[in-house]
Amino acid sequence: MYTVTKRMEVSAAHHLVLDYESKCEHLHGHNWIIYVTCQAEALDRNGMVVDFKKIKELVHAKMDHQNLNDVFDFNPTAENIAKWICDTVPHCVKVTVQESEGNVATYEL
Ligand SMILES: Nc1nc2c(c(=O)[nH]1)N=C([C@H](O)[C@H](O)COP(=O)(O)OP(=O)(O)OP(=O)(O)O)CN2
């Protein structure tokens, strides 16, 4: 089994829709640090699981310098973002989304 992991940073704004009072209901921004892990039993004809560049492009095209509430049809929590990335990137098996030093969410198959 081959495994690759791409680390990238995404700058974006969001607010959360919650059923309790929270400062996160107000528009704010993060420099998310995101790790995307992909696996394959066999490499493609270029000798890759997935091109690191393609992984970043897929995530950045949707999220970077965006208001995530405008581009997603779900509440943009770190958990939901991690799931969306895993569903979007080919061969993805695990995504870790770090909002800040102490706040990290992981989705994996
Ligand atoms: N499970 C989740 N909890 C929270 C999420 C999330 O995506 N998943 N997101 C937020 C907000 O985006 C908010 O920006 C973070 O709030 P908070 O935890 O208060 O973050 P701080 O960096 O201020 O944390 P401190 O430890 O208080 O410094 C909230 N929760």
pLDDT tens digit sequence for 3-57? 999 999 999 999 999 999 999 999 999 999 999 999 999 999 999 999 999 999 9
pTM above 0.80, yes or no: yes
pLDDT, position 39: 98
Domains of the chain: 2-108 (3.30.479.10)
pLDDT, position 67: 98
**How far is the C-alpha of 24 from the C-alpha of 21, rounded, in Å?**
8
DSSP string, 64-105: TTSBHHHH-SS---HHHHHHHHHHHSTTEEEEEEEEETTEEE
pLDDT, position 36: 98
CB 31 within 8 A of CB 10: yes
Mutating to test ligand 1, I would choose from 18, 24, 34, 63 the residue with most ligand atoms within 8 A of its C-beta, which is 24
pLDDT digits (tens, 9 = 90+) for 58-91: 999 999 999 999 999 999 999 999 999 999 999 9
Which one of the listed residues 25, 57, 65, 108 is annotated catalytic? 65
- Give the H or E element holding residue 35: strand 28-40
pLDDT, position 41: 98
State in Å: Cα 74 to ligand 1 middle: 17
pLDDT, position 16: 98
Which one of the listed residues 15, 24, 60, 79 is annotated catalytic? 24
Q: Please tell me whether the interface predicted TM-score (ipTM) of this complex is above 0.90.
A: no
Q: Could you tell me which of 63, 102, 55 has the C-alpha nearest to residue 80?
A: 63
